[in-house]
Amino acid sequence: MSTNLYDVAYNLEKAVRESDDFKQLQDLYAAVFADEGTKRMFENFRNIQLNLQQKQMSGQEITQEEVEQAQKTVALVQQDPKIAQLMQAEQRMSMVIQELNKIIMKPLEELYSNVENR
């Protein structure tokens, strides 16, 4: 019997959504966005972060001034307990996704390593 990978993927999506890590992330997002000042600070941080990522991906140089502004913004948002907790939860969720990706990619890695060793 053949496995339908899309069904498995949708089951994995459901499992991620039902995981404690994801639920905690949702709760922390709700807490950040419930406070207007915290929300504004967080959105400013995200905009700076996205702008720098876009510049980097398009090969544009990031100025020292932009780096310093980003560092100041990071220091500021990390002082807010709600945002700090949210960032920690995002990091945990990111690590889970990376680990899942490693598991998913394992058959291809094994295949390619076996081909190279022949």
Q: State the residue range of the domain holding 42.
A: 5-116
Report CA-CA distances (Å) from 99 to 34, 39, 96. 31, 30, 5
**pLDDT at position 2:** 74
Question: Which value, to the nearest 10 degrees, does the dihedral of the CA atoms of residues 5, 15, 91, 64 take?
Answer: 50
**pLDDT at position 118:** 60
Q: What is the mean pLDDT of residues 19-48?
A: 96
Q: Kindly report the average pLDDT of the chain as a whole number.
A: 93
Between CA 40 and CA 82 the distance in angstroms is: 13
Whether the CB-CB separation of 38 and 80 falls below 8 Å is answered with yes
| pLDDT > 90: percent of the chain | 83
59: domain CATH number is 1.20.1500.10
Give me the number of domains the chain comprises: 1
Statement: residue 91 has pLDDT above 70:
yes
Which tokens belong to 101? 């990706």
Report CA-CA distances (Å) from 66 to 38, 45, 54. 22, 12, 13
